[in-house]
Copies of this chain bind each other. A is one copy, B any other.
Amino acid sequence: MEKDNSSKTELKKKKKKHSLMDAAFELFTEQGFGNTSISDIVERAKVAKGTFYLYFKDKYDLRTIITVHKAEHVFLKAWEEAGIKKEMEFEDVVIALSSSIIDILAKDKTLTFFLVKNLSFGVFQRDDGNREGLDFHAMVHEILEHSEKKYRDPEILLFFIFEFLGSASYSSIIEGVPVPIAELKPKLLDTLQGILKMYEC
């Protein structure tokens, strides 16, 4: 009857849930979401089939939970690695953050693939209301307000930047098209910077 979030039982529950999430993440990226069955997932996670339904409503629910989890992780890590501070200029923040995101994704093809396939490109700039504790959009806007240089159509500018970043990074990281990411990265950041300049007031 008592809720006891730090007991041994509670820890075991967390472990089971994470086993399932990890197994599912692997399988979704290995075989695709559509080709992965719940049987596959529980088998790899080494839990009983019924246990799945203790933690997730169905396969779709599990996917959403994994996706949000992974995406938040990328954002937070990139923000941190980029050493972003409130006082920085907007342009510098965008470039530094983009650079960090590229680095993080480049190191993890699997993650890149998973995020793009499951978030329909939009995760970087859209807020779906389901997220807790992380409002990337708000963070970026705050920087924008503190920035000395001002920009035309800041919403659209941000949209362009992150569509561009996401879509080009994906092709390069996953398929090496048109060139590998190491080679594309400087050009990509240059082009982003060029776009930013275009929108300066």
Bound CA span A9–B187, Å: 56
User: Is there contact, CB below 8 Å, between A171 and B122?
Assistant: yes
Known: A159-B178, A160-B168, A163-B171. A153 touches B122 (CB 8 A): no
Question: How many copies of this chain are found per oligomer?
Answer: 4
Which secondary structure dominates chain A's binding surface?
helix
Kindly identify, within residues 61 to 78 of chain A, every residue whose CB is under 8 Å from any CB belonging to chain B.
none
User: Is there contact, CB below 8 Å, between A177 and B159?
Assistant: yes
A148 → chain B closest CB, angstroms? 22
Residues of A within 8 A of B (CB): 33-34, 121-122, 125-126, 153, 155-156, 158-160, 163-164, 166-168, 170-171, 175, 177-179, 184, 187-188, 190-191, 194-195, 198
25 contacts between A and B (CB under 8 A): A33-B34, A34-B34, A121-B121, A121-B170, A122-B175, A125-B177, A125-B178, A126-B177, A155-B178, A156-B178, A156-B184, A156-B187, A159-B168, A160-B164, A160-B168, A160-B191, A163-B164, A163-B167, A163-B168, A164-B167, A166-B167, A190-B198, A191-B195, A194-B195, A195-B195
